[in-house]
Amino acid sequence: MLLRLQNGTTAMGEMMRQQERVANNLANAGTVGYKRDRAFTEALQERIDDDGAPRSDRAATPFADLAQGALEQTGNPLDLALDGEGFFVLTDEASGSARYTRSGRFVLSADGTLRTPQGLAVAGEAGPIQVPRNATAIEVDRTGALRADGQEVGRLRVVTFADAGQLRRLDGAAFEAGAIEPEEAPAPTVLQGYVEESNVEPVREMTDMIAQFRLFESQQKTLQSTDQLLATITRDLGKF
């Protein structure tokens, strides 16, 4: 009886965390380069306790679904998308740390540095990419070479990972690698004037949210029924 309460409480806790993931996915359905949040649940140390009841420790490991999103044409010369594997490399100049993203919505700062709208520098193969302030035409070819008025000013650094699933989300569409070493992408395909949309499917997420809500309600009713049964048993035992 008490095991039923424990299992129900554990299940409801996991359902609440799943609802949080779904809500986060829906909130970022319009975020360029965003990757859907998912979780893998693993049963550990399965065993039979002293009362003969099955038990296990459940561990949910969050991860990002790195499937490519749809490519949207914008016509903006500083909007870039990767067709295929790879990540753009961003540099947080305050900490010196690197971030990795599929979001290629970039801007030029006052000094001509290619940056994200949040101010992170976009890494080139030889360091930050500087565009002359008086440049009138910016072109980026499919290999990532960036030209200003016909003169190459840098080449975008694009990397891959042997196991990209181990990347940890920092915020939105940005990830950190931790101890994982990036590898230079041998032949990236960069598309100018495009951005990669989020790979979140809103209808699918709404369906998951409704399903989780119904399961939560079911567990809640089970807990209420068990609680009422325990109360009845306790009351009846008190009569003897």
Burial of 129 (0-12, 13-18, 19+ CB in 10 A): buried
Q: pLDDT > 90: what percent of the chain?
A: 57
pLDDT of 59 reads 64
Strands 151-155 vs 145-148: parallel, antiparallel or unpaired:
antiparallel
Q: Which long-range contacts (CB under 8 A, 24 or more apart) does 223-228 make?
A: 223/5, 223/8, 223/9, 223/12, 226/1, 226/4, 226/5, 226/8, 227/5
> Domain residues of the chain, as ranges?
1-29+202-240, 71-196
* Pick from 31-45, 115-129, 163-177, 191-205: least confident: 31-45
Reported as a single tens digit per residue, the pLDDT across 122-163 is 999 999 999 998 899 999 999 999 999 999 999 999 999 999
